[in-house]
Amino acid sequence: MDDVLIPAWVGGELTAVDKLEVHQRGLRHKAISVFLMRGSTVLMQRRSLAKYHTPGLWTNTCCTHPHWGEDALTCAQRRLGDELGLPVLQLEKRDRVEYRADVGGGLIEHELVDIFVGELPPEIEPTPNPDEVADLAWMDLDGLTQRVATSPQIFTPWLKIYLEHHAAKIFGADAKV
């Protein structure tokens, strides 16, 4: 894992802290999550087995932490390129949510997350970075909800939180999640 300083709150002050230290201490920190859609299907990824937490679990299109001084939208677009080889896409910020989740190995995600949604045109196909992504799948929202309900252990904690508590804001009030 590379040494990256991310924005985290320490003693009430936003400061630059090493990413691993943030998770070891369970510090509240900034993050982004992206959901790319094609109609009513969402692009899901299975995290690389080389990830230092939640390896091999299915999650949303991509997520990460802004670098110190990086704005959320720039971070989201950068990460789509880093993980999926995608060009800069138009993204809409849908929500900002906060959650705290044990991600295993003594690590805690306590995130203030900006959530973005975009449409991936059919003529653009992702080319996943194998260091980041083990697999990709397009899932319809109904099927995704059913899979999370029947096999929760194969999904990241944050995806389950998003679907349970924030689906209407992410996918729209009419989404069947």
Catalytic-labelled residue, pool 62, 75, 109, 111: 111
Instruction: Report which of 129, 128, 153 is spatially closest to residue 57, judged by C-alpha positions.
Output: 153
Residues with Cβ within 8 Å of residue 63, at least 6 apart in sequence = 31, 32, 33, 34, 79, 113, 158
What is the SS3 string spanning 62-98? EEECCCCCCCHHHHHHHHHHHHHCCCCCCCEEEEEEE
Distance of CA 66 to the CA centre of its chain: 12
Query: Which one from 21, 62, 63, 83 is the annotated catalytic residue?
Result: 63
Residue type, 60: N
Q: Is 111 a catalytic residue?
A: yes
In eight-state DSSP terms, residue 30 is E
Task: Mark whether 132 is an active-site residue.
Answer: no
The span from the CA of 166 to the CA of 152, in Å, is 17
What residues are labeled active site? Answer: 63, 111
